Structure 1
Amino acid sequence: MQALTDAQQLRRTRRKAITAGGIGNFVEWFDFALYAQFATIIGFHFFPAEDPTASLLATFAVFAVGFLARPLGGLLFGQLGDRRGRKIALSLAVLLMSGATLAIGLTPSYATIGVAAPVLLLLWRILQGLSAGGEYAGSSSFVIEHAPVGRRALFASINPVATAVGTIGGALTGLIVTLSVTPEQLTDWAWRIPFILAGPLGIVGLYLRSKVEETPEFQAVAAEQAEMGHQHAPVVEAFRTNKKRMLILFGWAALNAVAFYLLTSYMVAYMTQRVGFSQADALLVYIIGLAAFSVTCPLAGLLADRIGPPKVALASAVLLAVVVLPAFTLMEAQVIGSAVLGLSVYAMVVGAIATLTPLFMVDLFPVRIRYTASAVSYNLSYAVFGGTAPYLATWMVSNTDDGKMPGYYVMVLCVLGVVVSLVGISRMYRGRELRDTEVAKSVALV
C-alpha cells in the first residue's frame, strides 16, 4: 500500500478533526435542544400548574439555571484542555452531556415521585450546563487550530453548522415521534424517546474523538511547557493578561447568545403557544429556519476570510437589528409560509453572527490559555444572556401581549454588537495586537 504524502496526511488529519469536532457538537446540541423542543410537555410533567404559562416559565427557569453551570464547566474543562489537551476534555464533555440527557428521559414525573422530580431535572440540567461550558470553546480551538492559512473563518463555521444540524436532528426526531403517536401518547410517554437516544449518540461521539490527534499548536505549546519543567495556571494568566479581550468576547457572545437561543430554544414554544401552530407545524418551520442558518454559516466564513471579520461583524449586527421586527411580524401572521420566511431571514443573519463567535474565541487568545480564556468569558456571557433569553421572551410576551417584544430585546443587543465591533474587534484586527491571519499559521498575541 502506497504511503501517504505529507500533503495527503495533512488533509486527512484536517478531515478527521472537522469530523470529530463537528460530530461532538452534533451530539451535544441534539441532546441540549431536546429540552427546549419539549419544554411545554416537560413543564406539564415536572411542574404541574393550572396555568400552562406558569409551567412553561418554570421549565425555562430550570433551563436558565443550567446555564449558570456553564462558566464553571468552562473553567474546569478549560483548565483540563489547556494543560492536558483538547482531546481528553472534549471526550469527557460529550459523555457528560449524553448521560445527563439520557437521565432526563428516564426520570419519573412529579405525579410519581413528587418534588424529587423537578430536583432531579435541575441536577441533570446542571450537568448538561457543565458539559456545554466545556464543549464549544474546546471544539472551536480544536477545529480552527487545524485550519489552513486564510481559511480560519471558514473552519469556524463548522461548529455553528454542527450545532444547527444537531438541533435539526433533535427536531426531526421529535417530529417523527410526534407524527408517529397520538397527542395523548406523546404527552404521556413518547416524548421521552428522543432523550433516551442520547446514550448511544454519546458513545459515537466518544469513539470519533478518540481517533483524532491533538492539534499541532497545542502539541507545540505542550512540548515547550514540558521543556520548561512546570505547569502553568491558565485561568490566572488569562485574567492577568487578557481581561480586555475576554471583555470583547463577552460582549459579542451576548448578542450571539440571545439571538441564537431565541432561535433554537424559544421558537417552538412561541409558535405553538403564541402563534397557535400545532407541534408538527412549529417543528417544520423550525427545521427550515435552522437549515437556512446552516447554509449561511460557511458563506459568512468565506466572506470573513475574504474581507475580514470586523466588517462582517459590524454588518451582521446592523442587519439583524433591521430584520428582527419584520421577522417576528411575519411569524405572527399565523401562516406557515409567512412563518418560514420570517424565521429563515432571522436565522440567516444569526448564522453570520454565530460563525464569527468561535473565530473570535480562537483569534483573541494565545494557545496556552485559549481554551480557558475563551470558555470562561463566552460562558459567563451565555449564563447571563443565553440561558435567560427564552424565559425573558416568554415573560415579556405574556405581560405585554405583544409577540414582537423579543425582537426589541434583540435590537438592544445589536447595539452592543455594533459597539463591540467598532471599539473592540476592529481595533484588535487592525492593530498589531493580532498577527495577520493571512501570513500566520496561528493567530496569537504578540
Structure 2
Amino acid sequence: MQDLPVGARSGDYRKVLAAGSIGTLIEVYDLLIYGYLATILAQQFFPSADPTAGLLATFAILAMGSVVRPIGAVIFGHVGDRFGRRPALASSLLLMTAATVGFGLLPSYAMVGLLAPVLLVLCRLVQGLSASAELPGAMLLMLEHAPANRRGLTASINNLAVILATACAALVSLVLAGLLSPGQLAGWGWRVAFLIAAPIGLVGLYVRTRLLDSPAFVALGESARQGRVPLARALGTAKRGMLLLVVWFGAQNVGGYTLSVAMPAYLTREVGLSPADAYAANLVGVVTSVAFALLGGYLIDRLPLRGTAIAVMAGVAITAVPGFLIITSFRTLGAAVLGQVLCSIFLGPAYSLGAVLAMRLFPTGVRFTAFALPLSIAVALFGSTAPLVSTWLSATTHNPLAPGFYLLAVATAATVAAALGLRRRDATAETPR
C-alpha cells in the first residue's frame, strides 16, 4: 500500500510536528540534564576521596540506564506496532517525567550512604525504559504523517527538538552555575534542574494524548493485532536493515553523547575552562548546529539517499579529530565553540538519515520495533557508554584527542556498513506496507 494522500491531512501533520517535537524536547532534556550535572552528581552520590573515580561511576550509571533500553524497545515496540504509536509515546513520557522528578528528590551519599547510588541507578533504569520508545516513536509518528518528499525535513525538525533539548539542558546548567555559588549549586541548586521536569512533563503529556495516530498504522486496521508478535516478524524479515541501523546509530550516538553529555566535563577537566565557560561553549556549539540539521533535512529530500548516507557518515569521521584538535590546541572559549561546531556539521543529518532509512527499510506493521530495537542497542552499546569510554581513554592514554579518535573509528565503521549494507533499491523505492 502506498502513502495515503497527505493534502487532506495537512492540519494533522502540523499538529503532529508540534506535539511530537515538544514531547521529544522534554524527554531528551530529562535524559541529558544528568550528564550536564555529572561532576556535581559525582560529588553528591559517591565518596569524595577520588573525584575521577566518582565521575567515572556517574557516567557508568548513565550507561547502565541504557542497558534496559533494548527491553523497553521490545515492550514499547510491541505496543506501538500492535496498538498504535500514540499510546506508546504517552506512556513513555509519563515514565520519563516520574523518573526525572525522582532524581531531584533523591537523598545524597552524605545522608544515606550507599543507598544513594542505588536509588540513582533505579531512576536511571526507569529513564532508560522510557527513552527506548520516545525518539523512534516520535520520529515515526511524524514521518508517517509526512509527505514522502518531505520526510528528510520532517526528521530534521524532530532532530531540531533534540538539539533544542540539548541547548535547554546546557542553558539551565549555565544559568544555575552563574546565579548560584558553587556551594549552593552542589547543595540544592542541581535539584532544580530535575524538578522542573514535573510541570513541563504534564504539559507534554496533555499534548500527546490529543494526537491522532499515524495514517499508515490506522490503515492496517485489525491486521495490526493479528499474526506473530512484531519482534518475531521483524527478526524474521528485517535483520539486514536492523543490523545496518545498529552500526549507523552507534556512530551517531557516540558523536551525540560525546558532544552533549561528556563535553562540559571534558572542557573543565581536560581543557581547563571554568564550569560557566564550559556550559556556555557547549550551548553555543549546540545552537549553531541547528542550521546544519535543517540543511541536512533539505538535502535528504533532494539527493540520492544511499550516496548521501555514505557522504554524511564519512563527514562525521573526517571532522572528528580536527574538531578536538582545535579545542585542545587553543584552550579558549572560542576554540571550544569552533571545535564543537566542526564536529556537529554532519552529526545532525546523520540522525535524520537513520530515521528516513527506517521508513524505507521496514514495513508499517513492524516498523516501530525494527526502528526502536537497533536504536536502543546502539545507545546501550555505544552512545551511553561514550562519556565513560571517552573519559577513560583520556585518563589512561593521557591524550586529550582520544575521544576524537574514538568517534573517527566508529564513524568509519558506519560509513563502510552503509556502503556495503544499503542497497540502491532501498534508497530509491518505497517499502511495501
Equivalent position SS for 2:243: helix
Equivalent pair of 1:272/1:278 in contact (CA under 8 Å): yes
Identify the match of residue 242 of structure 1 among 238, 244, 250. Answer: 238
User: Is residue 63 of structure 1 aligned with residue 62 of structure 2?
Assistant: yes
Pick one of 327, 339, 344 that aligns with 2:323. 327
Contact 1:330 1:338 in 2 (8 A): yes
Alignment of 1:1-400 (within 5 A): 10-225=9-224, 230=226, 232-332=228-328, 333-400=330-397
Larger mean Cα displacement after TM superposition, 130-139 or 152-161: 152-161
Counterpart AA for 2:341: S
* Corresponding residue for residue 440 of structure 1: none
Query: In terms of mean alpha carbon deviation, does 28-37 or 322-331 score higher?
Result: 322-331
Instruction: Name the residue aligned to 2:406.
Output: 409
Q: CA deviation at 1:316?
A: 1.6
Summarize deviations over 1:46-98 as a string: whole Å, max 9, x none: 01232211110000000000010111111111000111110010001111111
Contact persistence 2:327–2:335 (CA under 8 A):
yes
Whichever residue aligns with residue 444 of structure 1, its letter is T
- Can you give the 5+ residue segments of structure 1 that lack an aligned partner in the other structure? 1-5, 437-442
Distance in 1 between residues matched to 2:402 and 2:427, nearest whole Å:
39
Distance 1:110 1:341, change over 3 A: same
CA-to-partner distance for each residue in 1:108-139, whole Å, 9 max, x for gaps? 10110111110000000000000111111111
User: Distance in 1 between the 2:126 and 2:36 partners?
Assistant: 19
The whole-number CA distance in structure 1 between the counterparts of 2:351 and 2:259 is: 12
In the aligned structure 2, how far is the partner of 1:257 from the partner of 1:89?
Answer: 23
CA–CA separation in structure 1 for the residues paired with 2:93 and 2:304: 32
Q: CA deviation at 1:419?
A: 0.9
Q: Retained in 2: the 8 A contact 1:256–1:357?
A: no
> Counterpart amino acid of 1:373?
A
Shift of 1:414: 1.7
What CA distance in whole angstroms lies between the structure 2 residues aligned with 1:222 and 1:32?
34
- 1:444 matched to which residue of 2? 431
CA distance in 2, matches of 1:422, 1:12: 38
How far, CA to CA, are the matches of 1:256 and 1:322 in structure 2?
Answer: 14
The offset of 1:7, in angstroms, is: 7.5
Q: Percent identity?
A: 38
The equivalent residue for 1:420 is 417
Deviation at 1:280, TM superposition (A): 1.1
Q: Quote the Cα distance in structure 1 between the aligned partners of 2:227 and 2:310.
A: 39
1:244 CA displacement? 1.0
Q: Tell me the alpha carbon deviations over residues 272-323 of structure 1, each in whole angstroms, 9 at most, x when there is no partner.
A: 1111111111111111111122221121011111112222211122222222
Measure the CA separation in 2 of the matches of 1:334 and 1:38. Answer: 21
Q: Which amino acid aligns with 1:120?
A: L
| RMSD, matched Cα | 1.6
Write out the 4+ residue segments of structure 1 that deviate beyond 3 Å after TM superposition: 6-9, 223-226
Instruction: State the Cα deviation string for residues 233-253 of structure 1 (Å, max 9, x = none).
Output: 100101111111111111111
Tell me if the contact between 2:324 and 2:339 (Cα under 8 Å) persists in the aligned partners.
yes
Output the TM-score relative to the length of structure 1: 0.93
